[in-house]
């Protein structure tokens, strides 16, 4: 062979071998790794399910030892790793393992990269691939590569599409083909599905949960005022944090209003314009999915390109550029008058732009980062009120993955608990005997020593268990050595609780007294001074403002409203309310000092000091706002989405309010509910009126005015009515004592009532001791005469005291319940006794006239009856007339001839 040809052949062989080596290295980066069944995973793109830290993205399995990540977003964590597990549930994920050397300790913004598995890890070991935070055992997001059911392997379902590629996920679709930035904290994502003639839209914004997200299409015929005639979808979260998405149509720049004649205008649901939507002919928006993560709202919905509703829905031309409109603002929950969500004024967060939904757009770089990432409820411990620990379903547990059952505190799911150093915290543990409550340094709980991890237990243990019928009450007093952050958990199961913030002194230490107002939603604090009172109020649920009022209801009350304005400044304003609409809220100028208001995790807290008695003396409403520490202070509360200190409107109306006032006893440091009139007390009042207003007075009237009737009928009526009245008095007394669970002599009504009962009991005893009745013609004995005086005086005195008890009882009810019906009954009772007094005066006039006529006619009688029952011992003139009558009787007897 020619030497030159041999060298050329050798050179080509070397080059070929080099190229083959390069090709092999590129096409098989995992050469040398053990062969697995990864081929079944390599034909799909898997979508991450977002759990925390705004993680989203897709992965592709490249080969046996590596996978590719693209469009990857994630907020920075502490110690975050790639994680593998055999299943997506709590026990599987917490027993998982690290699968790559790569750390994920930074923020990712639409990044793409290749991840290599560790040498000892194969795809056969991984059914679930997750992004895992090691210190908190937190799942930021995961993909289910394969499920195992009854030993049969099948790939995760729910396919969708991103850029034409089949996607697999687990029911949390956060990926779209397109994304457009609407504002710094607001984005719209969409995917056009031409086959189904629909467009899927996702709205996400770093906002509070009381804020709505609206997006839609403008009226194509409008050259300005693009929102009028706009077809929009309003999305948001209900009070239970469940998402909603509904069709709205805009006819006016105002909140949706329904006039008396039924005319609808404003930003209203399509169904309100039509009255109903029984078969989905008007509301054509379909909610697909929604969540709140890290202070960011995300809602995905689907709407048809061409709707059957041509009146309120606009047809979307998928090939044309159309104008879209958007807005953010506070939303008001439904009420009895308007049973739908009411978008309020957007407050400047709105806009419009042109968009072609068929063109590819992606100008969203990285995840949204909210300033306030805490969405879970906040419970602040109070030394006077126990914290009720129970269990319930995991719906919005803040640290996924989670068990199916988690701890609740004061009926709130796994809230952030805040306690204060040096302030004892009382727990009422009702979580069941299979849940031992304890406070630990370990974020997982479940007895860390079983996992060979050391932990410090600060409170609780195996004995801290109980049920609702028999709760266990224990007290914990965090001290200066307690760390700032610990965890409440169950000793027998992992990740049932959440964080405990330990802080220095707060409101319970700053104020001498505190009570929880109606519905357990607001805590009221106060400290009395010689001429002033310092007051604080803290909401127990998230809101835009907090209002407390002094009065039985919203109307005719003095209100104190605390809120934080757009600049972050806390404010407290005072008002006099004399109606139910916004125009009836009148600002006042009370002398408030030491005013503070703050908003923390959506919880409003306000403080102020005011004089007990205003210094003004004119006709201004605030001059009558006097706080008397010796009189119960009736306190109500309200919360809403938005407040302003200039022009108030319907959007400032409250969304939730107390159902009844609480009577705060300022001097005693306690409170009692302002209740509706109890039925048993109503029966007590009726029975006492029947006895003291009808039966007992009727018995006295029978003895006074029916003696002229022949026989002893008057006596029978007198006895029956008196004993019937006495029996009813006893029954009414027992009803009241049983309902009030005791007898207290603190009120004037009780004092009058007990005195009337004593006098009433004295009458049958007096009747039993009655001296013998004199025979006809005999002189009335001194004992009999004394007895009759006592009997008459005690009986009539009992009636007077009984009537006083009735009137003071009605007055007591009026003060306690402040009900217009009680006041009306009071006047009816007074009118009844006035009529009775006039009737007695008339009967007394007739009786005296009858007796005068009888005495003047005695000279024509042969014999007088001489019945002492006909004598009125309390009338001296009548007694003298009767004495003269007896003398006349004796004279007539002497002059009468004796016939034999």
Q: Which residues, in sequence order, are bridge partners of residue 153? A: 148
Q: Can you spell out the DSSP letters for 153-208?
A: EEE----EEETTEEEE-SS-----SEEEEEETTEEEEEEEETTTTEEEEEEEES--
Is the separation of the CB atoms in 248 and 283 below 8 Å?
no
- The predicted pLDDT at position 468 comes to 93
- Do residues 385 and 498 share a domain? yes
**Does 12 fall in a domain?**
no
Radius of gyration of the chain, Cα coordinates, nearest whole angstrom: 42
> Residue 805 is part of a domain; what is its CATH number?
1.20.120.1770
The separation between CA 498 and the C-alpha centre of its own chain, rounded to angstroms, equals 22
**Calpha distance 501→480 (Å, rounded):** 13
- Do residues 121 and 263 share a domain? no
Encode burial over 231-262: b for 16+ CB neighbours within 10 A, e otherwise.
bbbbbbbeeebebbbbbbbbbeeebbeeeeee
Residues of the domain holding 731: 677-768+785-837
- The predicted pLDDT at position 78 comes to 87
Q: Which residues, in sequence order, are bridge partners of residue 457? A: 440
Is the separation of the CB atoms in 393 and 359 below 8 Å?
no
- Do residues 519 and 499 share a domain? no
**Calpha distance 163→872 (Å, rounded):** 110
The list of the chain residues with pLDDT below 50 reads 1, 3, 6, 8-9, 12-13, 15, 17-30, 149-170, 859-874, 876-900
Tens-digit pLDDT profile for residues 852-889 = 877 776 544 443 344 444 444 445 444 444 444 444 44
> Residue 396 is part of a domain; what is its CATH number?
2.60.40
Tens-digit pLDDT profile for residues 711-721 = 778 888 888 88
**Does 65 fall in a domain?**
yes
> Residue 245 is part of a domain; what is its CATH number?
2.60.40.1210
**Calpha distance 588→576 (Å, rounded):** 7
Is the separation of the CB atoms in 212 and 236 below 8 Å?
yes
Q: Which of 688, 718, 693, 696 is nearest to 705 (CA)?
A: 718
**Does 364 fall in a domain?**
no
Backbone φ, ψ for residue 783 (5° rounding) = -65, -40
Residues 6+ apart with CB under 8 A from 447: 491, 492
Residues 6+ apart with CB under 8 A from 877: none
* DSSP reduced 3-state for 668: coil
570-577 vs 585-587, strand pairing mode: antiparallel
The separation between CA 54 and the C-alpha centre of its own chain, rounded to angstroms, equals 30
**Calpha distance 196→182 (Å, rounded):** 27
Tokens of 484: 């700032």
Ramachandran area for residue 250 (φ above 0: left; ψ -120 to 50: alpha; else beta):
beta
- Other beta carbons within 10 angstroms of residue 505's beta carbon come to 11
Backbone φ, ψ for residue 771 (5° rounding) = -65, 165
- The predicted pLDDT at position 537 comes to 95
- Do residues 427 and 516 share a domain? no
Number of structural domains found in the chain: 5
- Do residues 491 and 462 share a domain? yes
**Does 632 fall in a domain?**
yes
- Do residues 319 and 414 share a domain? no
**Calpha distance 248→227 (Å, rounded):** 11
- Do residues 554 and 443 share a domain? no
Domain boundary among 673, 708, 731: 673
Is the separation of the CB atoms in 418 and 460 below 8 Å?
no
- The predicted pLDDT at position 642 comes to 83
SS (H, E, C) 273-323: HHCCCCCCCCCCCEEEEEEEECCEEEEEEEEECCCCCCCCCCCCCCCCCEE
Tens-digit pLDDT profile for residues 200-233 = 999 999 998 889 999 999 988 888 888 999 999 9
Would you say the C-alpha torsion 343, 344, 346, 351 has a positive or negative sign?
Answer: positive
Q: Is the backbone peptide bond immediately before 453 cis, with ω within 30 degrees of 0?
A: no
Farthest-apart Cα atoms in the chain, separation: 195
Q: Which residues, in sequence order, are bridge partners of residue 672? A: 663
Tokens of 192: 């056009």
Ramachandran area for residue 482 (φ above 0: left; ψ -120 to 50: alpha; else beta):
beta
**Does 882 fall in a domain?**
no
- Do residues 203 and 111 share a domain? no
Tokens of 416: 């952030």
Residues 6+ apart with CB under 8 A from 624: 614
425-429 vs 387-393, strand pairing mode: parallel
Is the separation of the CB atoms in 465 and 472 below 8 Å?
yes
Tokens of 156: 């995760």
Q: Which of 157, 264, 250, 245 is nearest to 203 (CA)?
A: 245
**Calpha distance 571→591 (Å, rounded):** 14
**Does 16 fall in a domain?**
no
**Does 871 fall in a domain?**
no
- Do residues 620 and 689 share a domain? no
- Do residues 141 and 238 share a domain? no
The terminus-to-terminus CA distance of the chain in angstroms comes to 194
Angle value at C-alpha 403, between 471 and 86, nearest 5 degrees: 155
Is the separation of the CB atoms in 127 and 97 below 8 Å?
no
**Calpha distance 607→816 (Å, rounded):** 28
Tokens 């127990």 found at: 540
- The predicted pLDDT at position 309 comes to 81
Q: Using the 8-state DSSP alphabet, how is residue 451 labeled?
A: G
Is the separation of the CB atoms in 597 and 606 below 8 Å?
yes
Tokens of 509: 């230490």
- The predicted pLDDT at position 23 comes to 38
Is the separation of the CB atoms in 83 and 100 below 8 Å?
no
Domain boundary among 481, 504, 527: 504
- How many helices (H) and strands (E) are present in the chain, helices listed first? 11, 51
- Do residues 667 and 681 share a domain? no
- The predicted pLDDT at position 566 comes to 79
- Do residues 183 and 326 share a domain? yes
**Does 732 fall in a domain?**
yes
- The predicted pLDDT at position 857 comes to 63
Tokens 């002229």 found at: 708
Tokens of 41: 């995973």
Is the separation of the CB atoms in 142 and 88 below 8 Å?
yes
- The predicted pLDDT at position 777 comes to 66
**Calpha distance 721→700 (Å, rounded):** 9
Q: Which of 685, 686, 714 is nearest to 700 (CA)?
A: 714
**Calpha distance 326→217 (Å, rounded):** 9
Give 300's Cβ-side CA count (13 Å radius). 17
Domain boundary among 447, 480, 504: 504
**Calpha distance 579→685 (Å, rounded):** 33
Encode burial over 553-590: b for 16+ CB neighbours within 10 A, e otherwise.
bbeebbbbbbbbeeeeebbbbbbbbeeeeeeebbebeb
**Calpha distance 781→880 (Å, rounded):** 17
């Amino acid at each position: 062979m020619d030497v030159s040809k041999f060298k050329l052949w050798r050179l080509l062989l070397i080059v070929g071998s080099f190229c083959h080596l390069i090709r092999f290295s590129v096409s098989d980066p995992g050469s040398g790794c053990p062969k697995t069944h990864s081929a079944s995973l390599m034909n799909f793109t898997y979508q991450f399910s977002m759990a925390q830290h705004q993680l989203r993205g897709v992965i592709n399995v490249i080969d046996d030892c590596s996978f590719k990540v693209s469009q990857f977003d994630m907020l920075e964590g502490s110690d975050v790793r790639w994680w593998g597990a055999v299943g997506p549930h709590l026990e599987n994920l917490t027993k998982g393992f690290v699968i790559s050397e790569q750390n994920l300790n930074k923020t990712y913004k639409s990044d793409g990269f290749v991840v290599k598995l560790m040498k000892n890890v194969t795809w056969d070991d991984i059914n679930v691939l997750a992004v895992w935070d090691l210190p908190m055992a937190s799942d930021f997001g995961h993909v289910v590569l394969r499920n195992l059911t009854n030993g049969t392997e099948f790939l995760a379902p729910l396919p969708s599409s991103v850029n034409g590629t089949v996607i697999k996920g687990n029911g949390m679709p956060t990926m779209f083909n397109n994304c457009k930035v609407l504002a710094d904290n607001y984005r719209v994502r969409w995917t056009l599905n031409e086959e189904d003639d629909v467009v899927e839209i996702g709205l996400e914004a770093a906002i509070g949960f009381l804020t709505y997200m609206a997006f839609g299409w403008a009226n194509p015929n409008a050259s300005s005022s693009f929102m009028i005639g706009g077809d929009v979808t309003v999305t948001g979260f209900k009070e239970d944090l469940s998402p909603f998405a509904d069709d709205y149509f805009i006819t006016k720049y105002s909140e949706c209003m329904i006039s008396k004649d039924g005319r609808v205008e404003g930003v209203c649901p399509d169904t309100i314009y039509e009255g109903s939507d029984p078969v989905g002919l008007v509301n054509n928006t379909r909610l697909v999915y929604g969540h709140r993560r890290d202070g960011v709202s995300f809602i995905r919905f689907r709407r048809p390109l061409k709707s059957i509703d041509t009146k309120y829905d606009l047809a979307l031309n998928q090939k044309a550029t159309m104008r879209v409109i958007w807005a953010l603002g506070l939303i008001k929950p439904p009420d009895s008058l308007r049973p739908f969500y009411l978008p309020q004024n957007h407050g400047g967060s709105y806009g419009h732009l042109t968009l072609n939904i068929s063109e590819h757009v992606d100008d969203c770089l990285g995840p949204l980062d909210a300033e306030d990432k805490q969405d879970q409820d906040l419970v602040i411990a109070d030394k006077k009120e126990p914290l009720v620990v129970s269990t319930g379903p995991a719906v919005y547990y803040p640290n996924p993955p989670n068990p199916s059952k988690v701890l609740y505190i004061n009926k709130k799911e796994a809230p952030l608990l805040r306690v204060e150093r040096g302030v004892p915290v009382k727990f009422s543990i009702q979580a069941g005997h299979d849940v031992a409550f304890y406070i630990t340094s370990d974020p997982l709980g479940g007895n860390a020593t079983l996992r060979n991890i050391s932990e410090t237990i600060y409170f609780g243990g195996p004995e801290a268990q109980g049920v609702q019928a028999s709760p266990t009450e224990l007290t914990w007093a965090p001290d200066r050595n307690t760390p700032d952050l610990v965890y409440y958990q169950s000793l027998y199961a992992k990740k049932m609780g959440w964080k405990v913030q330990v802080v220095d002194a707060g409101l319970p230490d700053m104020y001498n007294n505190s009570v929880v107002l109606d519905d357990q939603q607001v805590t009221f604090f106060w400290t009395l001074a010689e001429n002033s009172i310092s007051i604080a109020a803290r909401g127990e649920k998230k809101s835009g403002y907090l209002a407390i009022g002094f009065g039985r209801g919203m109307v005719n009350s003095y209100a104190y409203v605390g809120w934080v304005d757009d600049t972050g400044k806390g404010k407290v304003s005072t008002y006099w309310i004399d109606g139910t609409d916004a125009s009836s809220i009148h600002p006042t100028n009370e002398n408030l000092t030491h005013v503070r208001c703050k908003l923390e995790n959506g919880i409003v807290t306000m403080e102020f000091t005011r004089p007990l008695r205003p210094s003004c003396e004119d006709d201004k409403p605030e001059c009558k706002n006097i706080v008397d520490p010796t009189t119960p202070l009736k306190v109500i509360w309200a919360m809403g989405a938005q407040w302003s200190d200039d022009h108030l409107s319907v959007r400032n109306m409250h969304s939730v309010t107390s159902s009844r006032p609480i009577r705060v006893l300022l001097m005693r440091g306690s409170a009692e509910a302002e209740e509706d009139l109890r039925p048993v007390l109503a029966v007590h009042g009726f029975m006492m009126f029947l006895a003291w207003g009808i039966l007992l007075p009727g018995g006295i009237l029978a003895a006074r005015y029916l003696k002229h009737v022949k026989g002893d009928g008057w006596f029978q009526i007198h006895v029956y009515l008196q004993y019937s009245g006495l029996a009813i008095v006893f029954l009414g007394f027992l009803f009241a004592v049983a309902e009030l669970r005791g007898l207290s002599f603190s009120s004037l009504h009780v004092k009058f009532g007990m005195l009337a009962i004593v006098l009433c009991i004295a009458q049958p005893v007096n009747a039993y001791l009655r001296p013998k009745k004199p025979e006809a013609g005999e002189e009335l004995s001194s004992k009999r005469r004394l007895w009759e005086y006592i009997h008459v005086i005690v009986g009539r005195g009992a009636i007077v005291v009984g009537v006083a008890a009735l009137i003071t009882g009605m007055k007591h009810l009026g003060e306690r319940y402040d009900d217009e019906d009680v006041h009306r009954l009071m006047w009816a009772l007074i009118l009844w006794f006035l009529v009775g007094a006039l009737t007695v005066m008339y009967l007394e006039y007739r009786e005296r006239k009858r007796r005068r006529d009888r005495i003047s006619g005695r000279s024509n009688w042969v014999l007088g009856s001489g019945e002492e029952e006909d004598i009125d011992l309390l009338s001296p003139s009548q007694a003298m007339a009767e004495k003269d009558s007896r003398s006349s009787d004796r004279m007539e007897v002497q002059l009468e001839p004796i016939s034999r």
